[in-house]
Amino acid sequence: MANLYGYRARNPAGKVVSGQIQADDMNRAAALLRDRQLVVLELAPGRTKPKTFEIFKKKDIPLKEFAVFCRQMATMVRAGVTIMSSISAISAQAENPLLSEVLTEVGKDLEAGKTFTEACQRHKQFFPNIFVSMVEAGEASGALDDVLEELAEYFESQSEIREKIKSATTYPSFIGAAAVIVVIVLLVTVLPGFAAIFDDIGGELPGVTKAALAMSDFLVDYWYIHLPVAAIAIFGLKYYMGTTKGKHMWQRLSLRLPKFGNLFQSAAMGRFCRTLSILVASGVPMMQALEIVARVVNNVDYSSAILHARKGVSEGQTLSQGLAVSPRFSPLLIHMLKVGEDAGAMDEMLAKVADFYEGEVKYTVERLSSIIEPLMIFMLAIVVGFILAAVMLPMFDMAAVVD
């Protein structure tokens, strides 16, 4: 069983780096570090590496970090550095432990005589399908550096779009959760203190106060039911959304949401056009490219439409004809795709359409943010105002009686 060794070393740039390396013994660990062009400063045995190593417990590598990896690889390959040396150098200085571990394993496969594509395919749970396919095309054409540079731009663009969509959906969720918490705190801690005062005053309470007191009593008297039910509901929903069925349900629902539905549709069509454009330009066969795009598009409705179009292409149809039967793809996309097919410049036309939809996503996010922020604050003010009205209206009635 391989062992784990902790090390501190100096890289070719003179920077001191630290990390862990897997090897059969300490001599082998030192040799691997030297192969990475590292000067070993400290090397000590660590814990034994378990059979299922730590990286498999983690999900994936962030797109932004993967884009940096692609750009570093492109620069080093273009400068004439071998792929094995490039992988070793990037692995040694990678700040993400998951990326470092994966690249270490890829380096071992390269040492064993495998190609870069084969090494990546052995760890395809970490390398996106588009990456593996384009690297294969790049190795076959001898233009691996250009392919890696294009992949870096692709992952940077996808990361930016993903962050913009996340920012547009996070703020409403945060304000909504804050409103719920504020209401619960006021109903459970503030309102019960006024209930005794209202009882002493007597008389008929306003309807808003009765409603608030009823909600308060319900929360306070039956808290032992609410808490378990809420916990079960939250964890149950989280578990369901982690299943394939739950993800597909959310993907379908997201396309039908008011305002946000257009955002998710534009993002999906932009991702489809950008990915297919890069794959076609890199020489990946159309059937294989469509299969990859169906997985990358990340929406079950669009994936189904793409796979249906792929079947049509295999039977002699054009891609534009295959996609035209689906309502998910806009007439603009279908028309531009047909023009690209007729002109023999599908990749260029898809790239232009991708630019359009990616611009739409950025514009829609900015427009939604400008609308949602004041709207959510206004809704929060209404919720808090309801509680304040429930408390203050009886006070005003009491003051009128005293006068």
Average pLDDT for residues 126-139, to the nearest whole number?
A: 83
Which pLDDT band holds residue 54 (cuts at 50, 70, 90)? very low
In the chain, the number of structural domains is 1
Q: Which helix (H) or strand (E) holds 132?
A: helix 129-141
Whether 227 is covered by a domain: the verdict is: no
Whether 25 is covered by a domain: the verdict is: yes
CB 286 within 8 A of CB 311: no
Phi-psi region of 344 (alpha: psi -120 to 50; beta: other; left: phi over 0): left
CB 220 within 8 A of CB 188: yes
Whether 43 is covered by a domain: the verdict is: yes
CB 210 within 8 A of CB 235: no
What pLDDT is attached to residue 123? Answer: 83
Per mean pLDDT, which of 207-211, 251-255, 330-334 is the most reliable?
330-334
Distances (CA, A) of 380 to 306, 340, 365: 42, 49, 22
Residue corresponding to tokens 């955002």: 263
Whether 18 is covered by a domain: the verdict is: yes
Residue 329 has pLDDT above 50, yes or no: yes
pLDDT tens for each residue of 70-126: 999 999 888 888 888 888 888 887 778 888 888 888 888 888 888 888 888 888 788
Whether 128 is covered by a domain: the verdict is: no
Distances (CA, A) of 160 to 63, 112, 164, 171, 250: 9, 37, 6, 17, 22
Mean pLDDT of the chain: 81
Which pLDDT band holds residue 349 (cuts at 50, 70, 90)? very high
- Contacts with 242 (C-beta within 8 Å, 6 or more apart), sequence order: none
What pLDDT is attached to residue 336? Answer: 93
What pLDDT is attached to residue 323? Answer: 92
What pLDDT is attached to residue 56? Answer: 36
Please state the φ and ψ torsions of residue 377, each to the nearest 5 degrees: -65, -40
List the one residue out of 112, 62, 108, 74 whose CA is nearest residue 88.
108
Provide the token pair at 303. 């994936």
Lowest mean pLDDT among 30-34, 36-40, 48-52, 277-281: 48-52
pTM beyond 0.75: no
Helix 286-296 / helix 129-141 crossing angle, nearest 10 deg: 150
% pLDDT > 90, the chain? 12
Which pLDDT band holds residue 400 (cuts at 50, 70, 90)? low
Amino acid identity of residue 375, one-letter, is L
Whether 11 is covered by a domain: the verdict is: yes
pLDDT tens for each residue of 177-227: 887 888 888 788 877 777 777 666 666 777 887 888 888 888 888 878 878
CB 38 within 8 A of CB 10: yes
Residue 396 has pLDDT above 90, yes or no: no
Residue corresponding to tokens 């808090």: 384
Residue 369 has pLDDT above 80, yes or no: no
Distances (CA, A) of 300 to 263, 294, 331, 383, 390: 16, 9, 20, 37, 47
Domain that residue 30 falls in: 3-51
Whether 33 is covered by a domain: the verdict is: yes
DSSP-assigned letter for residue 51: S
Whether 24 is covered by a domain: the verdict is: yes
CA distance 28 to 10: 18
- Contacts with 9 (C-beta within 8 Å, 6 or more apart), sequence order: 16, 17, 18, 33, 38, 39, 40, 41, 42, 92
CB 73 within 8 A of CB 82: no
